[in-house]
Structure 1
Amino acid sequence: METQEKFLSFNLGVSDTAVISLQHITEVLQVSLAEICSVPQMPSSVLGIYNWRGEMLWLVDLEAMFGYPLMSQESNLLSKMMAIVLENEGKYLGLLVRRLLDIEWLDTKQMKVPGAELFYLKISPFLQGYFLNDSEEIIFNLDAISIIQAPMWEIHN
């Protein structure tokens, strides 16, 4: 059985790496933070709404959602960010990340099941598992569907 899957890898925080399966990624685009319309009364990880193909796309600071230090406080990142547009059953969500790394094939049979003690509490509900790279560093495998269906969006979607 074919267990190789294509993933998009990107940085989380200063030293962490995460991947999301390409099957839920619609598009990757560069976003200027000046073009994001902020919405009051939202969690700090929600940066606001972006005009994407004439649609309203909610943009989320993925690191803030997972409890990393806020990206928006680092002024050198303020100009341009990469947004990964996820799709599930007609719902879209844009994840802002600091840097895209690569598209890579990973063997899903090599994926390890996350133990709660290994990870930050805020990231655990959105993990499918993790991989270890050649230098034994952890690569988070994020679950696109659980991110899109996170309870914090329900009131806004």
Structure 2
Amino acid sequence: METKEKFLSFNLGISDTAVISLQHITEVLQVSLPEICGVPEMPSSVLGIYNWRGEMLWLVDLEAMLGYPPISQGANLLSIMMGIVLENKGKYLGLLVRQLIDIEWLDTKQMKPATTELFYLKSSPFLQGYFINDLEEMIFNLDAITIIQAPMWGIHN
């Protein structure tokens, strides 16, 4: 049985790499920080609302959500970030990341289970596990559905 799936890989923090299965990614877009409308009284990882195809898309700082330093901290305000639009059952959520790396085929049978010791405690609920690549580096596999359904948003439209 074919267990390879397509994943989008991107940078997390300074030196980490993560992937999300393409089956939950609707679109990838460039977002400039001034185009994001901040919303008061939201968790710090929620950057605000973005006009996406004429709809309101909530944008989340994936790094801050996973316990890394916030992506917007080191960024000058003109910087362009990459947005990954996730979709599950008609709900959309945009994740902001520094840069995308590639689309890769990964064998889900090779995925190792995530253990809390390995990962920031904040990120463990969102991890499905990890892969080890040819360079012996860990690649975190993030669970799109858990991210979309995270209770911290309280923004389900």
> Structure 1, unaligned stretches of length 5 or more?
none
* 2:40 maps to 1:52: no
Partner Cα distance (2:25, 2:54) in 1: 18
The secondary structure found in structure 1 opposite 2:30 is: strand
* 2:97 maps to 1:94: no
Amino-acid identity (%): 83
> TM-score with structure 1 length normalisation?
0.97
Partner Cα distance (1:119, 1:78) in 2: 31
Change (3 A) 1:53 1:87: same
- Which amino acid in 2 is paired with 1:84? I
Change (3 A) 1:77 1:108: farther
Partner Cα distance (2:76, 2:126) in 1: 28
Q: Which residue of 2 aligns with 1:127?
A: 127
Q: Which residue of 2 aligns with 1:6?
A: 6
- Which amino acid in 1 is paired with 2:89? E
Partner Cα distance (1:48, 1:78) in 2: 16
Q: Which residue of 1 aligns with 2:41?
A: 41
What do residues 35-69 of structure 1 show as CA deviations (whole Å, max 9, x unaligned)? 10000000110000000011100000000001101
Partner Cα distance (1:94, 1:50) in 2: 9
* 2:69 maps to 1:69: yes
Displacement of 1:76 in angstroms is: 4.1
Q: Which residue of 1 aligns with 2:140?
A: 140
Displacement of 1:75 in angstroms is: 3.1
Partner Cα distance (1:66, 1:37) in 2: 22
Displacement of 1:74 in angstroms is: 1.2
> TM-score with structure 2 length normalisation?
0.97
Displacement of 1:78 in angstroms is: 4.3
Question: What is the aligned residue count?
Answer: 156
Partner Cα distance (2:18, 2:47) in 1: 20
What do residues 105-145 of structure 1 show as CA deviations (whole Å, max 9, x unaligned)? 00001000111111110110001110001121110000000
What do residues 10-58 of structure 1 show as CA deviations (whole Å, max 9, x unaligned)? 0000000000000000000000111100000001100000000111000
- Which amino acid in 2 is paired with 1:24? H
Contact 2:34 / 2:77 at 8 angstroms: preserved in 1? no
Displacement of 1:96 in angstroms is: 0.1
- Which amino acid in 1 is paired with 2:155? H
> Structure 2, unaligned stretches of length 5 or more?
none
